[in-house]
Amino acid sequence: MKLDVRRLNRILSNIFNDIKNLSDEDRDLPIKWSVMHMYTTSQLGVLTGLKKGLDPELMGIIAALHDIGAIKTKKRENHARNASIYVHELIDLYNGKWRGNLSLITDEERIIIHEAVVSHSDKDILSTDLYIEAMKDVDSLDRYLHGINTKGGHINHLENMLDLFDISIAKS
């Protein structure tokens, strides 16, 4: 039994090569945090996709790209909306240069990825798009697992994930 996440792995390795040596100067968050968060959310995205009946590789790709706006602009403010151009650029790079013999990211997949990435910060706005809501859930769980205080809109999404994986935690 094998899970096909070759496109995700290709995207992750190419993004990592592009950002691993970026300076922390003028960044809201250290690049090491961004790299770590990219990898951990992509794995949680795959797992969440499997649990929720969504395309696991597509969820992993969304998660890998979800903070690309913060990485590229160095700023957290409006990072989800600012990611729009970078999502398209990276998908174009994948389809044109990085893909090799792997399948293309289709126009339908591009739309799903784009919408989930640019909407993932709207934690208090309920979407009917399952990928958008799943990315909000993944981001909230990953923050929690890294010891970041969970509050505001992240709480409902964290609780969604704890329920999904049947995890009980002592609430403080």
Indicate the domain borders of the chain. 6-164
Predicted structure pTM score: 0.96
Number of H helices, E strands in the chain: 9, 0
Say what the pLDDT of residue 103 is. Answer: 98
Question: Which residue is listed with tokens 């969440």?
Answer: 48
**57-112 pLDDT tens trace:** 999 999 999 999 999 999 999 999 999 999 999 999 999 999 999 999 999 999 99
Say what the pLDDT of residue 170 is. Answer: 76
pLDDT > 70 fraction of the chain, expressed in percent and rounded: 99
Average pLDDT over residues 110-132: 96
pLDDT band at 169 (very low <50, low <70, confident <90, very high): confident
- Residue 74 CB neighbours (<10 A): 18
Say what the pLDDT of residue 140 is. Answer: 97
Q: Check if CATH label 2.60.40 holds for domain 6-164.
A: no
Say what the pLDDT of residue 171 is. Answer: 67
